[in-house]
Amino acid sequence: ELFTVGSDTSSTSVEWAMAELLCNPDKMAIAKMELSRTLGDPQHIAEESDISRLPYLQAVVKKTWRLHAPVPLLIPHRADTTGKDFQFIPFGVGRRICPGLPLGVHMVHLMLVSLLHYFDWELPDGLKAEEMDMRDKFGVTLQKLVRLRLIPRQGS
């Protein structure tokens, strides 16, 4: 289950980010413009080192996590971050931190970069963004209740 949750949180985060960007086409346009300006040629394969040069995309990911936390957690009013109280430490702290956390964060950014930079996206069957179901489904990860379906077109 550990490996499933690890990959599921990344894919769920990307799904929510794409759904939010489709609901806000002006924000998607800004993200695509930043990618085009920073990465240039669509033949350029995005690398981990490119992420630091994409502040708007980083903000999109952070906003997505704020709106749609990948893991359902009830955040306490106060939490011990010294590592002495192990009652609530969702991803661990200090030497007990989840070793896959940095990898997962980078994967979300790289997947989103690839999806936005190399393709244009549209909703299927004439569905409008405001008609999209944005409810979530409670589980090990908070997924969209109705899975996102998109149609890729070769980027311009």
- Residue 2: pLDDT over 60: no
- Residue 54: pLDDT over 80: yes
Phi/psi of residue 124, nearest 5 degrees: -80, 160
Mean per-residue pLDDT of the chain: 76
- Residue 80: pLDDT over 90: no
Mean pLDDT of 101-123: 85
| Contact of 16 with 64, CB cutoff 8 Å | yes
Q: How confident is the model at residue 134 (pLDDT cuts 50, 70, 90)?
A: low
What is the model's pLDDT at position 88?
46
Distance CA 61, CA 112 (A): 9
pTM, 2 dp = 0.74
